[in-house]
Amino acid sequence: MSFNRWSSVRILIGGAIIALIAVALGIINWDVPYWFIYVVAVLFVFSSALLHYRRLYLYIGLTFILTHLGVDVYTGGRSFLQGSDAVQWLSIIAAGEVIHQISSQRRRAEVLSRKRIQELEVMNVTLTSISGELELASLLQTITERAVKLLNVSLGELLLSNKQTGEMEIVAQYPLRKEQLGFKMKPGEGAMGQVALTKKPLIINDYKSFVNSLPDEITSGVEATLDVPLLKGDEFIGVLGVARHDKDHEFTKDDMRLLTVFASQAMIAIENARLYKEVQHLAFTDVLTGINNRRRLFELLDEEYRRALRYQRPLSLMLVDIDRFKNVNDAYGHAAGDEVLRWFANQCNGVIRQKLDLLGRFGGEEFAIIYPEAELASAIGAAERLRFQIIGHPIPYNEMEIYITFSAGIASLSLDKEIALDQLIERADKALYFAKEKRNCLAYWDNKEARAHRIP
């Protein structure tokens, strides 16, 4: 009970006691009429009923009735048993009950209204926070975190469905436990699996007794769950679920309604992020080969150049040109030329260090490979491995075999003398031009001698 409410109770009880004593003494000693006790009783009974203290108004009413009987016994009167006095007391108690019910309904409506306002405020903040996020992985984590805070629960998870396998995978969790990210489950497994089958929200307030519950090492002592589907029209995309570890707090239909509304808005944000990712991919990807296009290549090169200068780390750049590519187009056709470009890009992609080296199409039959954390000697070694992968290996096309060679120019940053990015590109281009004079060879730019050298 709050301090203000407890203070009101004390005032009512104290006032009622004082009034009872005064009225009783007045009736006994000064012939105050009995109806005065009704007036005082109505004042305190109705006040306590309005203030939502049900037991208190009943106790106060009963105390006034007992006082009336006590006065009758003391004075030898029989006013309570005569006339309509008993009926009047019953009317006062009944009226108090009516007032209490009206007051209770009003208070419940106020509580519900405040709850709805709080929910809308939280929902507004939540939707604002996710609507501006376009990076998909970050968005999924934000959605899960906001769902947990929206319903004041202890755990949240977001699973996305794989269209090819039909399995669902945990892609976001809050609080985050990295060992559970990537955990897969099939439709029908656990509460989320049931939601995947039915495409309908599901509340389970006794999860341990749930027939299809997952092992405890996965659910981590969960007591109650609320899961809602993520739908794009009728298409099932995934499941957003929250859970409580406290047995004393159950999920309600209001919770389900709130999370369902949130999930529908979250689905819009997810689709926006997916579209943004697709647009970005198209903007940064060479359509023919599927590798970085010229624009993205220069952006990545600029980033790596700045990082290398800042931390004084090595960086190398190799420009590659397919020898006599025009002859391939003339002899076999442009479709064959496209196949050669795709094959060459795949071979390059298979040789480079994954998640470190960066490959892109420089233009036409020219390609570029960025070697972060690689000095000149390391870049030359990588170029030799690429030659071994390309030279003498046939490219199958329409029951024919096409053979190609390439020339490459390599340049590296000089750690003892800073150069501009344009100079690095220019040096690699000069080394490439020097290699193309002979063809089917590599050349590098010597920073000390300021000239290109072919590799025998």
Helix 136-151 with 85-131: angle, nearest 10 deg = 170
What span, in angstroms and rounded, lies between the C-alpha atoms of 102 and 113? Answer: 16
Q: Specify if 19 maps to a domain.
A: yes
Give the CA angle between residues 218, 219, 220 to the nearest 5°. 95
Q: Cβ(376)–Cβ(391) under 8 Å?
A: no
261 and 298 together in one domain:
no
418 and 324 together in one domain:
yes
User: What is the model's pLDDT at position 402?
Assistant: 95
User: What is the model's pLDDT at position 351?
Assistant: 93
Q: Which residues pair with 185 in a beta bridge?
A: 168
Of 245, 279, 313, the one marking the end of a domain is 279
Question: pLDDT tens across 382-435, in order?
Answer: 999 999 999 999 999 998 999 999 999 999 998 777 889 999 999 999 999 999
Question: pLDDT tens across 101-144, in order?
Answer: 677 777 777 777 676 666 666 666 666 666 666 788 888 998 89
pLDDT exceeds cutoff 80 at 5? no
Q: For the domain that residue 323 is a member of, what is the CATH number? A: 3.30.70.270
Q: What is the overall mean pLDDT for the chain?
A: 82
What span, in angstroms and rounded, lies between the C-alpha atoms of 194 and 443? Answer: 62
Length in residues, the chain:
456
pLDDT exceeds cutoff 50 at 184? yes
Question: For the chain, what percent of residues have pLDDT higher than 70?
Answer: 70
Confidence of residue 3 (pLDDT cuts 50, 70, 90): very low
pLDDT exceeds cutoff 70 at 347? yes
Q: Specify if 229 maps to a domain.
A: yes
Question: pLDDT tens across 205-262, in order?
Answer: 888 777 666 665 566 678 899 999 999 888 899 999 999 988 878 898 888 988 898 8
Q: Specify if 285 maps to a domain.
A: no
Q: Specify if 268 maps to a domain.
A: yes
Write the DSSP symbol of residue 404: -
In angstroms, the first-to-last Cα distance of the chain is: 91
273 and 203 together in one domain:
yes
What span, in angstroms and rounded, lies between the C-alpha atoms of 343 and 116? Answer: 60
364 and 306 together in one domain:
yes
pLDDT exceeds cutoff 50 at 1? no
Q: Which of 73-77, 279-283, 405-409 has the lowest mean pLDDT?
A: 73-77
Of 72, 91, 109, the one marking the end of a domain is 109
157 and 275 together in one domain:
yes
What span, in angstroms and rounded, lies between the C-alpha atoms of 228 and 145? Answer: 15
Confidence of residue 278 (pLDDT cuts 50, 70, 90): confident
> Structure pTM?
0.56
Q: For the domain that residue 201 is a member of, what is the CATH number? A: 3.30.450.40
User: What is the model's pLDDT at position 428?
Assistant: 95
User: What is the model's pLDDT at position 11?
Assistant: 63
Q: Specify if 217 maps to a domain.
A: yes
181 and 271 together in one domain:
yes
Q: Specify if 121 maps to a domain.
A: no
User: What is the model's pLDDT at position 190?
Assistant: 84
- DSSP per-residue string spanning 338-374: HHHHHHHHHHHHHHSPTTTSEEEEEETTEEEEEEET-
Query: What is the number of alpha carbons within 13 Å of residue 81 lying toward its C-beta?
Result: 8
User: Which bin fits 311, alpha (ψ -120 to 50), beta or left (φ > 0)?
Assistant: alpha
User: What is the model's pLDDT at position 180?
Assistant: 83
Question: pLDDT tens across 164-178, in order?
Answer: 888 999 999 998 888
pLDDT exceeds cutoff 70 at 349? yes
Q: Specify if 125 maps to a domain.
A: no
- To which residue do tokens 């397919």 refer? 322
The two three-digit tokens of residue 14, written as one number: 């104290």
56-71 exposure pattern, b = at least 16 Cβ within 10 A, e = fewer: bbbebbebbbebbeeb
166 and 104 together in one domain:
no
257 and 313 together in one domain:
no
365 and 439 together in one domain:
yes
Q: Specify if 153 maps to a domain.
A: yes
171 Cα distance to chain centroid: 9
- Owning domain of residue 90: 3-109
The two three-digit tokens of residue 74, written as one number: 């003391």
Question: pLDDT tens across 16-66, in order?
Answer: 666 666 666 666 666 666 656 666 666 666 667 666 655 666 666 666 666
User: What is the model's pLDDT at position 374?
Assistant: 94
262 and 307 together in one domain:
no
Evaluated on CA atoms 335, 337, 342, 347, the torsion sign reads positive
Mean pLDDT value of segment 335-354: 95
Confidence of residue 378 (pLDDT cuts 50, 70, 90): very high
Give the CA angle between residues 53, 58, 60 to the nearest 5°. 95
pLDDT exceeds cutoff 70 at 376? yes
275 and 157 together in one domain:
yes
Give the total number of structural domains in the chain. Answer: 3
Question: For the chain, what percent of residues have pLDDT higher than 90?
Answer: 43
253 and 312 together in one domain:
no
